[in-house]
Amino acid sequence: MIGSFGKVVFEVSAERVRTFRDFQIQHSAKYTEHAIHGRKGLLEFTGLSASTASLNIRLDAGLGINPKQELNTLHEILTNHEALPFVLDGEPQGDDLWVLENIGETYEIIDNQGTAIAVEVSIKLKEYIEVSANGD
């Protein structure tokens, strides 16, 4: 197993190939600028932003994947606004769970019945930090 996002498992086996490419992860800090008359502003670190990730997934029937079924799974995660673990190389990414913010679909091959044979999917994830009732 290469990794997973909830029930979407990235793998290469004799039966199927579900991998991704163009993986990007971004980490950023937040700063507030305080104006000082006649001088440059003073920056104050106010915390870290939630990390974001993006990747492209090829859903190809020729590689043992049912594009329609896989897209339904992704749409279900998005619609149900599920916060899920994002794991790569056996390591959880970030400090907590991740949500699916965006799905982009490019239908590359469609058969003469209108069935998707190969779809390139781009997804965007955002780190989701759970806060307990006591604010922790």
pLDDT tens-digit readout, 6-30 = 999 999 988 889 999 999 999 999 9
Residue 135 binned pLDDT confidence (cut-offs 50, 70, 90): low
For residues 80-109, average pLDDT: 94
The pTM assigned to this predicted structure is 0.85
What's the whole-number average pLDDT of the chain? 93
71, 80, 83, 103, 106 from 76: Cα distances, Å: 8, 6, 12, 11, 18
